[in-house]
């Protein structure tokens, strides 16, 4: 049969709990909140400040990146100008050679040699 040692361990637990005092629960809750709330609020404001600083930092970085892009464009333009100068010098040399050749051919025509 069923003896006194075979009773369920949960049996009678509900009756053993003292009546819960609503006022005590409210006071404990308020105490817990008042203990942790100031730290949480400080953490919240610190996180907000950190987030604002990160936004400012990101905007600054974007401005610096755009400056670097402008510098690269300027370097490209500089390279283009030096290349243009190089080809301009070549054209000037070719023109001088053509003028010299024209003079020589004119002199040869004057001396009677047909080219």
Q: Do 76 and 69 contact (CB within 8 A), yes or no? A: no
Coil, strand, or helix at residue 77? Answer: helix
Report yes or no: 95 and 88 within 8 Å, Cβ to Cβ.
no
Report pTM: 0.43
Which of 23, 45, 41 lies closest to 33, judged by CA? 41
pLDDT (tens place) for every residue of the chain, 115 residues total = 555 555 555 555 555 556 778 888 999 999 999 999 999 999 999 999 999 999 999 999 999 999 888 888 888 888 889 999 999 999 999 999 999 999 989 888 887 766 5
């Amino acid at each position: 049969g069923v003896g006194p040692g075979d009773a369920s361990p949960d049996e009678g637990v509900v009756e053993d709990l003292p009546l819960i005092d609503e006022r005590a629960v409210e006071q404990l809750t308020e105490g817990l909140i008042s203990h942790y709330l100031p730290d949480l609020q400080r953490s919240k404001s610190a996180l907000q400040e950190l987030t604002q600083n990160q936004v400012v930092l990101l905007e600054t970085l974007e401005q610096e990146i755009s400056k670097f892009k402008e510098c690269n464009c300027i370097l490209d333009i500089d390279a283009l100008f030096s290349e243009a100068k190089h080809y301009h010098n070549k054209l000037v040399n070719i023109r001088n050679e053509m003028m010299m050749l024209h003079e020589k051919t004119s002199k040869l025509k004057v001396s009677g040699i047909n080219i």
